[in-house]
Structure formats: C-alpha cells, structure tokens
Chain A
Amino acid sequence: MDATEIGLWGVPLAILGGAIRVSTPFIFVSLGEAITERSGRINLGLEGTLVFGAMTAYAVAVMTGSPWLGLLAAAGAGLCFGLFHGWICKFRGVNDIAIGIALMLFGSGLAFFFGKPFIQPSAPDLPAIAFGGWSDIPQVQAALNVNILFLIGAALAVFLWWAFRNTRAGLIVRVVGDSSDAARAMGLNPNTVRLLATGVGGALAGIGGAYLSLYYPGSWTERISSGQGLMAVALVIFARWNPLGCFAAALLFGGAGALGPALQSVGVTQGYYLFYAAPYILTLIIMIATSSPNRSLAGAPGELSITK
C-alpha cells in the first residue's frame, strides 16, 4: 500500500493518534482531580494550575535545557497551587467552588504575566517512544509515536485504582470524602487529608500542563489550555471518581479533540470551528446523560459539594 494513498483511513488513524496525544493532559488532570474529589473537595482551579504548569515547565526547560527539570518545576508549582486551595478552603464560609474559580483566573493571570518573555524561544521536548517502527506508512508511525508521559499516566491510573481499594492511604482519603464525622471519629483530621489530596491533585495537574507546553502542542502560548482543566473536572464526574474510568474518558475526550484536526488533514475545512467545539459539546452531553435529579450519583463522595 502506498503511504500517500491511505485516503479516508487517515481519519480514524489520526483520531487514534490524536486521542493518545491529546488525552495525556486530561489523564493527569482528571486523576489529580479524582484524588481531590475523593477526599470531599472540588478544585475547579486546576484549569489555572494547568496553564501555570505549562508556563513553568516551558520557562524552566528553556532556561536549563532540560525538559525533565521543567516537568519537575511544573509539578512543584501545581503542588503549591493545590496546597493553597486546600489550606484556604478549611476556613469556615470559604467555598471551594468559588475559590477554584478565583484560582482559575489567578493562575492564568500569573502564567501570562511571567510567561510573556517565553513566547518566542523554543524549549526541548519531552521524549516519545516510536511504537510505529514496524510500519512504512508515515501516518501510522506518527499515530503510534507515544510520549512517555502517556504511559506513566496509564500506569498511574491503574495504580490509583488499586490504591484506593487496597492501601491505607486510599482508605483514609475515601473515608474523609464520604463523611467528615466518621473520619474525625477515627482520629483523622479531614482538613489535613484534604490539604494533601488537593496538593497532590495540583501537582498532577501541573504535570499535565508540562505535557502541553513541552510535547503537544509543544510551545507556550496564552491559548494553550482553553478549558481542558475544566473539562477534566467534568470528566471525573462522568468517570464516577474511578481512576480507570478517568483514563478511558480521557481517551474519549482526546479523540473528540482530535476530530477537527483529523478532518482538516483530509481536506474537510467546512465548519472547522464547530468540530473544534466537539470536546465541549461531548462533555456537556455526557454530563446531561449521566446526571439525574432523582438519585445521587453512584460512587459520589458524600462530602462533595458539587453533588449535594
């Protein structure tokens, strides 16, 4: 088969490749948010954390020449944002959803503020592994060029799924998320657990941001995220707070996000902007389909304000 003549097969192939490429930040943000929400808090600010993480990773990678240091810095910055959210929400009368909105704006603002000088220079990329070497077709090779963070994210999803069920830490997070009173009766401090859970969630979102700026799309711009952090939060609800579900949903969202570029690559340019909206529409449809006014969501943490 001639490489240039795969024709319309290019569309599903590009969607598959795109799903793997686009989904990685979703995986990290949604796993982070799953940990946070399992502890009974919701952090809508991960959108801001994602953008700030992307800027930090890019800036550090440009200055040090190492994408891994950039990744580490992004995780650190995300940790700080998460810890701040976790700390400020322990005060009476402070609403976690509203603080999330504020941190969304604040994180993006800070990222744009410090990121201005880094729009021009180019940073080293995070490495990818070529799984497509067996094929002569460039589209197949491109689709199977998998970044190492995707594999780490997949492993992390399995690990968290196992850890929520089988480890002491997982049990503690779940107890705190289901009932503050029960947790206190066990001698646990819900605020401390939530602080740590939100911190870890922020760090993972920071890593998701590093992927955005250091691999795909692979440069720092102010439009780098456009709501991916927020969609990841919605995705966690759809995945019923199950890490494996988060992973699957992230792939689905990645595929939806890749739809527009994939169609464009085979010459469909009509309604490009509508295809661009596909992930948002998909998120909304999924939220409508999976919510119900008559029953609380299966698997929802009892202390979570968003489902009360």
Chain B
Amino acid sequence: MVDTVGTAGAPALFGARNYPAALEWAARQAEAFVIPLAALIVGMALFSVFIALVGKSPVQLYETMWRGGFGSWFSIQNSLSRAAPLLLAALCVALPARLGLVVIGGEGAIVLGGVAAAAIGVAANGAPAFLVILLMGVAGVVAGGIWIGAVGALRHYRAVNETISSLLMAYIAIALMNHLVEGPLRDPASLNKPSTEPLADAYRIGNIPGMDVHWGLVVGILACVLSWLLIEKTRWGFAARIAGGNVRAAQVQGLAVGPLIVGFTGLAGGFAGLAGMLEVGAVQGSANASLAAGYGYTGILVAFLARHNPLAIIPVAFLLGGIGASGGLIQRRMDLPDATVLVLQGMLFVVILFSETFYGRFKVFNPDLWKRGS
C-alpha cells in the first residue's frame, strides 16, 4: 500500500558530497516536475492516436480543447469554476495518500456535504446571511468529514480496506441523497428534477469581484495551501508522513496512528463536503442529483497527477477543469460522444501511474547515482 504514494527520494547517505546541496535539491525537484509532465504529453499523444483511429482529427481536437478550456477569458473563467470543486475533491485523495491510504470515495462526501448544507440553508431561513453561509459550510465539512473519517476509522480499528469501503460508502451516500431529495427534503415544486427547496438569494455564494468565478475557487486554493502547510510544516504532517512510510515505525516512535488516520481522513472528507456545499451554495442553489457530477472521480486523477502534493494540485485542477470544460464544445463541434473526456482522463491516469516506474531511474535526476559512475 505504501508505494502508491510518492515520497521524495531517499537522502544521499554516501557520495555526491562535491556537488552543491542546492543542485541536488534542484535535481530531485526537477524529477517530480519533468516525469509527470512527460507522462502528460505521452498520454495526450496516445489519445491523439485514439482519436485518429476513430476517424477524427487530433489537431482539431486539441485546438477545440484549447478554445473550450483556455483560449479566451470566458473559457478560462469556465475552467476555473470547474477547478474549484476539483481542488477540494483532490485533497480528499491527497491527504489520506500521505498516510499511505488510497481513498477514492470523495464523491460520497461531496454529495452528503451538499445535502447537509442545503438542509441547513433552508432550515435557517431568516437568519443573517453570513451566519447561514457559515453554518452551511460547517454542515458540509461535518457531513463529509464524518463520512470519510469513518472510512479511516474502519481502516485503522477494523482493518477494512479503505479503497473498497470508501467507494461503497460513495454509492450508499448517493442512495441516501436520492432518498432525502425525493422524500423528506423534497421541494414539492420541483417536478421534473427532484430537489431540496431552493436557497434564498441572500444565502447564495457570489462571484469573486471582477470575475465570473464564484468564491469557491479562493476557498479551494486556500485549502490547498493550508494542507501543504499542514503536511510540510507541522508536527502532525511530519507524523503523518512517517506513518505513511511505515506504520510500525510510527507506532514504535509512540505516534498515535489511530487519531492521526481518523483526523487526516476526516479533514479530507471535510474538504470534499465543502466542495458539495459550494456546489449547492454557488452553482445549483439546491441539492439534487447534479451533485454527483463526477468531481470526486476526476479529483482522484488530479491528486495522482499532482503526486499528492497539495500545491501541485492547484495547476493540475485548472488543467483538468479546462479539459472538462471543453467537453461540451468537443461534443458539438466534432460530433464526438461526451465520454471523450472520460477516455482522455482514463488514458492520462494509466500513463501517469505507469510513469511511477521511472522515478529514480534517470541519472540526471538522482544525485545518489552521480558519483558512483553507474
């Protein structure tokens, strides 16, 4: 389980003394940048072959993708709006990954976070706006946190595999949402698409001034930066990295691995729940089946592509948000099915995982090999 998670190369114990430390550091950093980038390019090249095989022009495809996702201020704003939930969904994968856990059920936390936020937003109707929005955020975080925190607790205290249990919990969460939205929480006025009662306009989350992008983007970026600080600069993050490397070693050191796992998975789920709350508060205006839009699954890809580094998640989420945003345009302009983006994502995912095998293989990136002449 441990080796799914990218960690920096082992420190050089022998040799390589006559190179400046900064150069060694730069080489290792470059590896973590060049290999995923190369994998991204190879994945896109393979996808070009696929598109050519089904009789379409790869050049036109990438041109359309560029225009739909990044080519204009309008499309960039669209991509940023899609990146906002991806940032939080990716954190739901990346944080547990630092502990050596592969959690893939973020979709469930998003859905329940959204439902909880919508329920609070309707129940607290009449209260001051900032208070309601705050309560909605708390509801989303708590709902998502409990859902994924339970996955972590089951993993640690019952040794239940977290990958399978989190995905099962996602299916259960979606069923629970359908039950609530079509039953107890249903707005009788929503006929075609069962939804909760719409939020009052005062409780909707607005846009960042000067942009057509809601505040969720700022929340997401902030969450990524805070997560990075948590992992890299605090003792909890340090403990998590040790436990992620070797649980036994962490226990021997006296680290409370159980609370650590529950805390990290709970926080991860809280972020995903917040993504659901933002979708309700800023995009949908009520909780309905659109909450299960697949952000949780794209978030898995974002996290792996970013090698579970919260700061790297920010550009990767923008990239995949853009690819997702261009899906509609690709469908209309090129007469390709909407699943085209899914195929591209799947291919990228496979290539990215395959690229894991190249870490430490290239001499230029690996100071440990510089002096041995190997």
Contacts and interface: CB of A to CB of B under 8 A. Distances in A.
Do A and B truly interact?
Answer: yes
B304 interface: yes
A284 B157 contact: no
Interface string B351-370: 01110110100000000000
A9 interface: no
A91 B361 CA distance: 12
A101 interface: yes
B158 A293 contact: yes
B350 A99 contact: yes
B349 A106 contact: yes
Contacts of B161: 234, 237, 287, 291, 306
Contact of B357 (A44, A93, A305): A93
A5 B179 CA distance: 31
Interface size class of B (residues with CB under 8 A): 35 or more
A234 B164 contact: yes
B361 to A, nearest CB: 9
A288 B154 contact: yes
A107 B178 CA distance: 26
A280 B159 contact: no
A106 B297 CA distance: 12
The prevalent SS among residues of B at the interface is: helix
Given A109-B343, A273-B178, A287 B354 contact: no
A94 B357 contact: yes
Interface stretch (B63-71, B130-138, B334-342): B334-342
Interface centre among A102, A234, A292 (most CB of B within 10 A): A102
A222 to B, nearest CB: 8
A241 interface: no
Interface in B319-333: none
Contacts of A237: 161
Given A234-B168, A287-B161, A293-B156, A95 B345 contact: no
B179 A101 contact: no
A71 to B, nearest CB: 24
A94 B356 contact: yes
Nearest to A47: B167
Contacts of A272: 179
The prevalent SS among residues of A at the interface is: helix
Contacts of B159: 291-293
B278 interface: no
B165 A227 contact: no
A102 B356 contact: no
Interface string A264-308: 000000011110110011011001100111000000000001101
B359 A106 contact: no
A10 B178 CA distance: 26
Contacts of A112: 337-339, 342
Interface in A219-236: 226-227, 230-231, 233-234
B125 interface: no
Interface in A61-113: 88, 91-95, 97-99, 101-103, 105-110, 112-113
A109 B81 CA distance: 23
Contacts of B160: 287-288, 291
B347 interface: yes
A94 B347 CA distance: 15
Interface stretch (B169-177, B206-214, B224-232): B169-177
B350 A109 contact: no
A116 B104 CA distance: 27
A91 B4 contact: no
B164 A102 contact: no
Contact of A105 (B337, B340, B349, B357): B349
Given A88-B353, A107-B346, 20 more contacts: A44-B164, A93-B357, A97-B102, A102-B350, A103-B346, A108-B342, A109-B339, A109-B346, A110-B339, A112-B342, A113-B343, A230-B164, A230-B167, A273-B178, A274-B176, A276-B178, A284-B169, A287-B168, A288-B160, A291-B160
Closest 6 CB pairs of A and B: A106-B346, A109-B342, A112-B339, A277-B175, A102-B349, A273-B179
Interface of A: 44, 88, 91-95, 97-99, 101-103, 105-110, 112-113, 116, 226-227, 230-231, 233-234, 237, 271-274, 276-277, 280-281, 283-284, 287-288, 291-293, 305-306, 308
